[in-house]
Amino acid sequence: MKELLVVSGKGGTGKTTIVGTLAVLAKDTPLIRNPVLADCDVDAADLHLILNPATKESKEFFGLKKAGLDRDKCDNCGECIPVCRFDAITSHNGIIRLDPISCEGCGVCYRVCPRQAITMEDFIAGHWFVSDTPYGPMVHARLGIAEENSGKLVMEVRREARRIAETLESNLIISDGPPGIGCPVISAMTGVDLVLIVTEPTVAGIHDMERLYNLAKGFDVEVAVCINKYDLDSETSADIEGFCHAHNIYVAGKIAFDERVVKALTRGEPIIMPRRRMSSGAQRTSSDPHSLPDTTARAIEELWTKIVVRLY
């Protein structure tokens, strides 16, 4: 079984659109058996907007334990207030208040309380879901507001995706990765077979790509790059290709900017699907809102073909 992770330095590069489209193509690729999808962008999951999943199962996700207050035992002595570095414990009119959102679960108040009025309790930090999509099962998640531990939730999503893939004897998991290079992306990247970095021709895009490449190199994971909207700045696109060439990074695809792609996205559809639907009979017209230029569809299909060759 292979795992493909698609990442980008920040939102807005088109990463999730590309993942959604690769999911459509994977379903139609004879070499790929029962693909499984994982949305590891648990802080801002949006793959479900494109793939329209039907949720079959929902599970609670417990992050770190948090402090809970037993009012019957608490005498409001206030000894716990100064030891909380996160200002989660306050006193109002002599009554102690504990804010679970600010609590970071360090447990210091639990240790200092002379009346054992504080307990460390499991706290639901989010949920993860197993859903059906027309392109295969998908595991996705939602982290609670202001909750951390997204790296741990990413691990849960990946574990479940792998379990489903093994049950279905799937040979591919496609994951939509978290942005940045922090804990969540590290959780998403460890042990995958190929990282596809989606970048765009901007100074920030190059910088983010370099950071992701260095991270992947640290985990000894193979990297490929896709330059999205490459035609918006040919000089910077050439710089990206130059960097890739110098570091022996495979440039798997270049996709031109096309605002009809954005319109297709707002309709909640993968961008290659309209082309396939049209090919089943009807003629495409330039005024059809579902119509996409062949160059865009072809560029993504070529990207997919190169990824498959790289993986298998």
Q: Which residues lie near ligand SF4 (CB under 6 A)? A: 67, 69, 74-80, 83-84, 86, 88-89, 96, 98, 103-109, 113, 115, 117-118
Tokens coding 57: 């199962």
Tokens coding 97: 């208040």
For ligand SF4, give the closer residue by CB, 98 or 194.
98
**C-alpha to C-alpha distance for 168 and 184, rounded to whole angstroms:** 26
- In a 13 Å sphere around the CA of 80, the CA atoms on its Cβ side amount to 31
For ligand SF4, give the closer residue by CB, 119 or 202.
119
At closest approach, how far in Å is the CB of 85 from ligand SF4? 7
At closest approach, how far in Å is the CB of 76 from ligand SF4? 5
At closest approach, how far in Å is the CB of 149 from ligand SF4? 14
DSSP 128: E
For ligand SF4, give the closer residue by CB, 95 or 262.
95
At closest approach, how far in Å is the CB of 74 from ligand SF4? 3
Phi, psi dihedrals of residue 127, rounded to the nearest 5°: -140, 150
From first CA to last CA, the distance across the chain in angstroms is 10
DSSP sequence for 4-21: EEEE-SSTTSSHHHHHHH
Note the helical H segments in 219-251.
Answer: 234-246
For ligand SF4, give the closer residue by CB, 55 or 91.
91
For ligand SF4, give the closer residue by CB, 88 or 212.
88
At closest approach, how far in Å is the CB of 90 from ligand SF4? 10
Give me the torsion for CA of 31, 33, 34, 39, rounded to 10°.
-60
For ligand SF4, give the closer residue by CB, 28 or 75.
75
The letter for the amino acid at 249 is: I
At closest approach, how far in Å is the CB of 87 from ligand SF4? 8
